[in-house]
Amino acid sequence: MADDSVPRVWIVRSSIIRSLYSHVCQHGLDRSLGLRCTVIWKGRGGRLWDQLLPVLRSFTAKAPAPDILIIHLGGNSLCREGRNRLDFLREMKTDLAEVFRMFPRTRLLFSSILPRLHWRGQTARSAYGVERSRRWLNVAISGFLAERQMRCIRHSNIDLCHLTRDGVHLSPKGNELLLSNLRKALQLGCALVCLIRLKKGQCSNTQKNPW
């Protein structure tokens, strides 16, 4: 049974975060990342951006709204045929605005799209153009969220050298870096949630175990 005294966290994921979750389980790490919170890891491999809202609506029918929502999606949709990066940015902003309406009391954290050597739907031999779009979208979404007092989780410490041979998923070292980035952002998010809760009652300490 979930502990209602600690922040509730949902992580909406694609295969990158699914692999990270496997890394956490295989190494016997705490699924709540060593923090006083309840983390629900939701998702599957190959998830596209346009699946975000249906997935969230499905979650809300089964569980209370989260205090913190981490979204790690977008990489599989960058090369969608018939859509340029401006179209994709408009779609992302529209969907994120709907997420704000669905969860008005939830802190949203967008996990930046990670670099890849190979992208789904890529037709050009070189991924240079996709990489430029990835960086541009990350900056644009970061600004969009900042205007709403939300934030983007940056992964500037993760590069192509941290990928596995498939050129998409992260190596063990890459997973360690991603895990550290998510934990730092989540630790801050949980602290802010607890500060708000302290005005109404008692909140458990966000620090549970050393990581």
Please tell me the distance from the alpha carbon of residue 152 to that of residue 144, in angstroms, as a whole number.
9
Q: Is residue 22 part of a domain?
A: yes
The amino acid present at 60, given as its one-letter code, is: T
* Model pLDDT for residues 38-51, shown as the tens digit of each residue: 999 876 667 889 99
Q: Which CATH number does the domain housing residue 172 bear?
A: 3.40.50.1110
Q: Give the count of domains, the chain.
A: 1
3 assigned to some structural domain: no
pTM, whole model, 2 decimals?
Answer: 0.89
List the domain range (segments joined by +) for residue 37: 8-198
Distance between CA atoms of 200 and 67, rounded to whole angstroms? Answer: 15
The pLDDT tens digits of the residues spanning 152-179 come to 999 999 999 999 999 999 999 999 999 9
Weakest-pLDDT range from 164-173, 183-192, 195-204? 195-204
**How many residues are present in the chain?**
211
